[in-house]
């Protein structure tokens, strides 16, 4: 590098004061830059993520078996799809509540709209449970044909956000999808894959005795468990356990259990 723009300029002296000042100034400038960008672009990014979630939900509903006939009206009786706001503790629907305002993701961090869970109750590892949730319910001729429930829980490296769809008997899984997670790509990350999600269709939540059996197998998938469980994922023990735990939680008494009981009693 012979003859630069400013030849014979000596580098600044390495004093402690200068090192600290320059270091702090650069760090401050960098943080300011990032903070301003986050503040200005945040709303747009959130809107993009929200649109993505809507698309995933629509894709899940479209991919459910039999939904096309339901929607086209080819089956006897008109089908309707409604989003209902549910008070999770009582299982009652809240008439007139705006589904868009009852979003679980926003409520989970808001102490006014969520309830802290005791550690022994918190199977899904979510800390707080939103007080309300939005269920999407498909009816055919007045009968419940399908219900889609938002679920989420702690995986290995992230919170896994998804939807669980149950068929009209409320005991058969129609579909399970995770639209957002940060599990290890190639290992736990398979929960985002269509193949893995397709394996859930037709699994039964409870056995004939009413015991909860739904989940990911631990170790070999035994023959007597195949009606209820999907195969384990290699190298993703924590993710698998997290999925099982969140299903157990959200289908239990602290999750959607009370609402499902009410639906079943209809």
Supply angle C-alpha 179, 183, 189, rounded to 5: 70
Residue with Cβ nearer another protein (30 or 73): 30
Residue with Cβ nearer another protein (160 or 241): 160
**Least distance (Å) between residue 35 CB and another protein:** 10
Residue with Cβ nearer another protein (52 or 224): 52
The C-alpha atoms of residue 217 and residue 203 are separated, in whole angstroms, by 12
- Residue span 47-86 as binding mask against another protein, x where in contact by CB under 8 A, dash where not: -x--xx----------------------------------
**Least distance (Å) between residue 31 CB and another protein:** 8
Under 8 Å between Cβ of 214 and 251: yes
Of the candidates 228, 205, 89, 191, which has an alpha carbon nearest to the alpha carbon of residue 147? Answer: 205
**Least distance (Å) between residue 186 CB and another protein:** 13
Paired tokens of 189:
């990350």
**Least distance (Å) between residue 15 CB and another protein:** 7
Residue with Cβ nearer another protein (41 or 78): 41
Binding of residue 96 to another protein (CB under 8 A): no
How far from 100 is each of 54, 57, 107, 135, CA to CA, in Å? 11, 14, 11, 12
Residue with Cβ nearer another protein (20 or 264): 20
Residue with Cβ nearer another protein (26 or 59): 26
**Least distance (Å) between residue 42 CB and another protein:** 8
Under 8 Å between Cβ of 199 and 226: no
Paired tokens of 191:
């929960």
Q: Strand pairing partners for 6?
A: none
**Least distance (Å) between residue 60 CB and another protein:** 18
Q: Where are the beta strands (DSSP E) in 64-172?
A: 79-87, 92-93, 114-116, 128-130, 132-140, 143-154, 159-167
Ramachandran quadrant class, 202 (left: phi over 0; alpha: psi -120 to 50; beta: rest): left
Neighbours of 217 (CB within 10 A): 17
Binding of residue 2 to another protein (CB under 8 A): yes
Residue with Cβ nearer another protein (11 or 95): 11
- Residue span 5-44 as binding mask against another protein, x where in contact by CB under 8 A, dash where not: xxx-x-xxxxx--xx--xx--xx-xxx-xx--xx--x--x
Under 8 Å between Cβ of 253 and 217: no
Paired tokens of 227:
């009606």
**Least distance (Å) between residue 5 CB and another protein:** 4
Binding of residue 100 to another protein (CB under 8 A): no
Supply angle C-alpha 68, 192, 137, rounded to 5: 40
User: Given the rule CB under 8 A, which residues bind another protein?
Assistant: 1-7, 9, 11-15, 18-19, 22-23, 26-27, 29-31, 33-34, 37-38, 41, 44-45, 48, 51-52
């Amino acid at each position: 590098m012979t003859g630069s723009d400013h030849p014979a300029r000596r580098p600044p002296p390495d004093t402690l004061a200068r090192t600290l000042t320059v270091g702090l100034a650069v760090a401050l400038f960098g943080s300011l830059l990032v903070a301003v960008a986050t503040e200005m672009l945040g709303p747009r990014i959130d809107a993009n993520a929200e649109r993505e979630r809507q698309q995933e939900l629509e894709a899940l509903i479209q991919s459910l078996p039999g939904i096309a006939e339901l929607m086209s009206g080819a089956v006897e009786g008109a089908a309707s799809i409604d989003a209902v706001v549910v008070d999770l503790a009582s299982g009652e629907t809240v008439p007139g509540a705006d589904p868009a305002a009852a979003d679980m993701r926003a409520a989970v961090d808001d102490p006014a709209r969520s309830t802290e869970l005791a550690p022994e109750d918190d199977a899904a590892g979510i800390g707080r449970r939103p007080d309300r949730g939005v269920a999407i319910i498909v009816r055919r001729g007045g009968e419940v044909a399908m219900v889609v429930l938002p679920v989420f829980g702690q995986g290995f490296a992230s919170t896994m956000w998804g939807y669980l769809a149950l068929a009209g008997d409320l005991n058969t899984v129609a579909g399970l999808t995770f639209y957002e997670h940060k599990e290890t790509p190639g290992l736990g990350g398979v929960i985002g894959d269509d193949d893995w999600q397709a394996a859930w269709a037709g699994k039964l939540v409870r056995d004939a005795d009413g015991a909860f059996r739904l989940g990911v197998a631990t170790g070999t998938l035994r023959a007597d468990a195949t009606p209820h469980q999907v195969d384990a994922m290699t190298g993703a023990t924590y993710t698998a356990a997290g999925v099982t735990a969140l299903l157990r939680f959200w289908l239990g008494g602290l999750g959607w259990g009370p609402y499902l009981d009410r639906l079943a009693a209809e």
